[in-house]
Amino acid sequence: MYPDELVRTAGEELPSPRVPKKKKVSVQERKEHLIAFLFILPPIVGFLIFTALSVVFTFVYSFQGYNSLSGISENVGFANYIDLFTHVTRAPLFGKAIVNTIVLLLSVPFSMILGLILAGLLRLGEIKGSKFFQVLYYVPAVSSAVALNIVWNYIFRSNGVFNTLLGLDVIWLDGDVTIKVAIIFKNSLNAMGGAMILYLAGMLNVPKDLYEASSLDGAGKVRQFFSITLPLISPVTFYLLITGVIGGLQSYADAQVFAAGNTGATTIVYFIWQQGIQGNNNQGLASAASVLLAVLIMIVTLIQFKFSNKWVYEE
Amino acid sequence: MMSVIHDTTLSPVKKVGRIFLRVLIYALLVLGAALIVFPFVWMVLGSFKTPLDANSAEFRFLPVEWVTNNYTDLFTNTNFPIIKAFFNTVIVEVSVIVVGTFVSALAAFSFAKLKLQHKTFWLLFLMSGMMVPYAALMLPQFRAFQSMNMFDTLWPLILPGFFGNVSMIFFLVQYMRGIPNAILEAARIDGAGHFTSFVCVMFPLVKTAIAAQVIFWFIGIWNDYFAPSIYLITPDRMTLQALLGSLNPAQNRQYLPMALAGAVLSSIPMFVIYLSCQKFFIESLAISGVKG
């Protein structure tokens, strides 16, 4: 869905650019314009206050530093941005937070692969209880992240049920690498249901005659999957990838609740929270990190808008 | 392509192979289902253990002794007042959803059916906010709410909701475009103003679409953790998720069974809603991906 498309589907005729609109606007029409605008005013005011103004202030803060001697904020130029990457005492963990956030994004492709396999199994086996499995697999997606993180933390304890059932002796929660593995594991599992449902819907949309035609040409199941199904459901893949990455870049509860601040799993948003809210005295630094995160997410979103029709199959 | 199993022209050997394949598929699906269900089973089992039992170095699957005081403690312990947290959550839910839904639906009506000038611009304007992460808005909002003495109150969670929900607006714009103009014209001829035709004609027609969006929004608010955890510090003022977060057993192991009991209790309303509206959840989700 694209914004211009959204507008164009209005069913109204677009005014032809060549015909100049010299028609006189009636009083009644002007009244409708006004009322129509009043109806959209609350969301616009909300946007201006809670988004536009907030973004501007975040941007301004990112160039400010708090001077503890004078007790006022002062302009520090790009110092906060530079400190994020270079300052050992002010921002020791920002680089780590970026690496952690990106590594933890691995759960996105994993959940997509699991979802694709599950959807394929449901289709291939013509499973009767398909709806049952869909409802069940989607349960974690509607559950509270805090509740899930509390129980997954319990599961991954050294003497916990995960190690016991698999006969392992891994210290999941304290290691720098193992905690990432644990988070990727649980997040892949929690997100695979959504991926499965979307892939299944995508597969049902593939025209049947394509399969029939290719069977006549002697293509096997595997060949059909890779040369028909997979390319035709690429919009779903793209959608899952983008929404997964955008969500993953804003991950917070995993670092806060599941990892309880373990530096092996601190994320960018956790870093922002720590510097700006928890410590409450590094708001300039936190704002600089927020601006970088916002830019990153905007780039991903714009990629979605710009390239979605080039990369993926559409009718 | 998919009718391999019911193909009657297959030889008996092949048929056995197909049945074997189907059993294997079921086995894999059940295994996946078990992985999904297990954390919830573990949550319930742990909530009936004593702190000593749950944290014991020796692994036990079932509680040594089934105790219910993790639940009763939540109802009586003033540090973790789950009843208050429940009502705080409901206050946020009801006020945001009642006002926010009305505001969103009214705006959607204007975008879909009224002669609004610069329609595309305003739509894109609102939409652009969807790509800004909350983390980039959080600090100025936090400072502003602090300076208005709204820190540690529910207002920072409620006020932004009063201005509507952009994703709900977009969904409803598309839906309302499907409503024939003739119906609205008829109301207009009868002398109804724009507001009246929204309330009396459009609203009843799009009730189900609105209900769908309301349920998604309801669950989003119910499970929201980030903002509540930032703004709320007094247990009596917390929402359910903030309270659960404050019980985090990764920081204090003694709380583990009580936190699990809290997780169970706070999940029950969600499960009831999800299971009673499951069909519609799955369908709405499937549509969102296919349309992309």
Do the Cβ atoms of B285 and A286 come within 8 Å? no
A217 pLDDT band, cuts 50/70/90, is confident
Euclidean distance between CA atoms A190 and A70, whole angstroms:
50
B52 touching A, CB under 8 A? no
Does the pLDDT of residue A311 top 60, yes or no? Answer: no
How many interchain CB pairs under 8 A, A with B? 330
- What per-residue confidence (pLDDT) applies to A88? 67
pLDDT, tens only, A243-268: 899 999 999 999 999 999 888 999 99
Pair B89, B231 in one domain: yes
Q: Which of residues 62-101 of B touch A (CB under 8 A)?
A: none
If DSSP codes are grouped into helix, strand and coil, which group holds residue A66? strand
pLDDT, tens only, B19-44: 888 889 999 999 999 999 999 999 99
Among A44, A146, A271, the strongest candidate for a mutation testing the B interface, having the largest count of B CBs within 10 A, is A146
- What per-residue confidence (pLDDT) applies to A158? 86
Chain B residue with minimum CA distance to A299: B131
Question: What is the CB-side half-sphere exposure of residue B221 using CA atoms within 13 A?
Answer: 26
If DSSP codes are grouped into helix, strand and coil, which group holds residue B220? helix
Contact B245, A273 (CB under 8 A): no
Does the pLDDT of residue B246 top 70, yes or no? Answer: yes
Closest CA to A25 of B153, B266, B117: B117
Considering A43, A69, A88, which residue would you say is the last residue of a domain? A88
Burial class (CB in 10 A: 0-12, 13-18, 19+), A41: middle
Does the pLDDT of residue B204 top 60, yes or no? Answer: yes
The per-residue pLDDT of chain B, averaged, comes to 89
Residues 6 or more apart whose CB falls under 8 angstroms from that of B107 comprise: A39, A40, A42, A43, B164, B169
Pair B175, B233 in one domain: yes
Q: Is residue A147 part of a domain?
A: yes
Closest CA to A63 of A288, A223, A219: A288
Of B21, B42, B140, the CB nearest to A151: B42
Q: What is the helix, strand, coil percentage profile of chain B, to 5?
A: 75, 0, 25
**Cross-strand pairs, A64:** A75
Contact list in A for residue B245 (CB cut-off 8 A) is 146, 256-257
Do the Cβ atoms of A125 and B25 come within 8 Å? yes
d(CA A53, nearest CA chain B) in Å: 9
Instruction: Compute how many other C-beta atoms are within 10 angstroms of the C-beta atom of residue A60.
Output: 14
- What per-residue confidence (pLDDT) applies to B7? 55
CATH number of the CATH domain containing A106: 1.10.3720.10
**How many structural domains comprise chain A?**
2
Pair B137, B197 in one domain: yes
Residue B14 one-letter amino acid: K
Does the pLDDT of residue A10 top 80, yes or no? Answer: no
Q: Which range is most confident: A301-305, B92-96, B190-194, B209-213?
A: B92-96
Pair A260, A135 in one domain: yes
Contact A11, B184 (CB under 8 A): no
Does the pLDDT of residue A129 top 60, yes or no? Answer: yes
Print burial letters for A177-213: b (CB count within 10 Å at least 16), e (below 16): eebbebbbbbbbbbbbbbbbbbbbbbbeebeeeebee
Of B35, B115, B124, the CB nearest to A36: B115
Instruction: Compute how many other C-beta atoms are within 10 angstroms of the C-beta atom of residue B95.
Output: 17
Does the pLDDT of residue B117 top 60, yes or no? Answer: yes
Q: Is residue B4 part of a domain?
A: no
Quote the DSSP letter at residue A193: H
Q: Is residue A14 part of a domain?
A: no
- What per-residue confidence (pLDDT) applies to A8? 45
Print burial letters for B106-142: b (CB count within 10 Å at least 16), e (below 16): bbbbbbbbbbbeebeebbebbbbbebbbebbbbbbbb
Written as six digits, the tokens of A144 are 């509270």
Closest CA to A187 of A130, A239, A243, A244: A244
User: Which contiguous run of DSSP H or E holds residue B195?
Assistant: helix B194-196
Q: Is residue A22 part of a domain?
A: no
CA A286-A292-A293 angle, to 5 degrees, is 85
- What per-residue confidence (pLDDT) applies to B192? 83
- What per-residue confidence (pLDDT) applies to A315? 42
pLDDT, tens only, A132-184: 999 999 999 999 999 999 999 999 998 889 998 898 888 999 989 999 999 99
Of residues A21 and A215, which shows the higher confidence score? A215
**Cross-strand pairs, A74:** A65
Q: Is residue A270 part of a domain?
A: yes
Q: How large is the average pLDDT for residues B196-200?
A: 91
- What per-residue confidence (pLDDT) applies to B250? 84
Do the Cβ atoms of A272 and B194 come within 8 Å? no
- What per-residue confidence (pLDDT) applies to A59? 94
Pair B226, B84 in one domain: yes
Instruction: Give the alpha-carbon dihedral of B87, B48, A182, B35, to 10 degrees.
Output: -100
Q: Is residue B3 part of a domain?
A: no
SS3 per residue for A162-192: HHHHHCCCCCCCCCCCHHHHHHHHHHHHHHH
Euclidean distance between CA atoms B140 and B156, whole angstroms:
12
Considering A43, A67, A88, which residue would you say is the last residue of a domain? A88
Do the Cβ atoms of B136 and A291 come within 8 Å? yes
> Helix crossing, A130-137 with A107-124: angle to 10°?
170
Q: Is residue A21 part of a domain?
A: no
Does the pLDDT of residue B1 top 50, yes or no? Answer: no
Give the end-to-end CA distance of chain A in Å, rounded to a whole number. Answer: 14
Residues of chain A with pLDDT > 70: what percent? Answer: 86
Euclidean distance between CA atoms A54 and B43, whole angstroms:
39
pLDDT, tens only, A70-102: 667 788 888 889 888 887 666 678 989 999 999
Euclidean distance between CA atoms B187 and B183, whole angstroms:
7
How many whole angstroms from its chain centre is CA A27? Answer: 47
- What per-residue confidence (pLDDT) applies to A259? 93
Do the Cβ atoms of A154 and B26 come within 8 Å? no
Q: In chain A, at which residue ranges do the beta strands (DSSP E only) sit? A: 64-67, 72-75
Burial class (CB in 10 A: 0-12, 13-18, 19+), A101: buried
ipTM for this prediction: 0.89
Does the pLDDT of residue A202 top 50, yes or no? Answer: yes
A309 pLDDT band, cuts 50/70/90, is low
Pair A146, A292 in one domain: yes
Does the pLDDT of residue A4 top 70, yes or no? Answer: no
Contact B202, B179 (CB under 8 A): yes
Does the pLDDT of residue A1 top 50, yes or no? Answer: no
Q: What is the helix, strand, coil percentage profile of chain A, to 5?
A: 70, 5, 30
* Sign of CA pseudo-dihedral B147, B150, B152, B158: negative
A222 pLDDT band, cuts 50/70/90, is confident
- What per-residue confidence (pLDDT) applies to A29? 85
A310 pLDDT band, cuts 50/70/90, is low
Does the pLDDT of residue B108 top 90, yes or no? Answer: yes
Q: Which domain holds residue B177?
A: 78-246
Of residues B123 and A312, which shows the higher confidence score? B123
Pair B48, B96 in one domain: no
Considering A62, A88, A114, which residue would you say is the last residue of a domain? A88
Q: How large is the average pLDDT for residues B275-285?
A: 85
Considering B71, B97, B116, which residue would you say is the last residue of a domain? B71
Burial class (CB in 10 A: 0-12, 13-18, 19+), B169: buried
Q: Is residue A133 part of a domain?
A: yes
A2 pLDDT band, cuts 50/70/90, is very low
Of residues A39 and A169, which shows the higher confidence score? A39
Contact A284, A76 (CB under 8 A): yes
* Sign of CA pseudo-dihedral B264, B267, B269, B271: negative
Contact A104, A183 (CB under 8 A): yes
Q: Is residue B6 part of a domain?
A: no
**How many structural domains comprise chain B?**
2
Q: Which domain holds residue A248?
A: 99-311
Chain A residue with minimum CA distance to B265: A147
The per-residue pLDDT of chain A, averaged, comes to 85
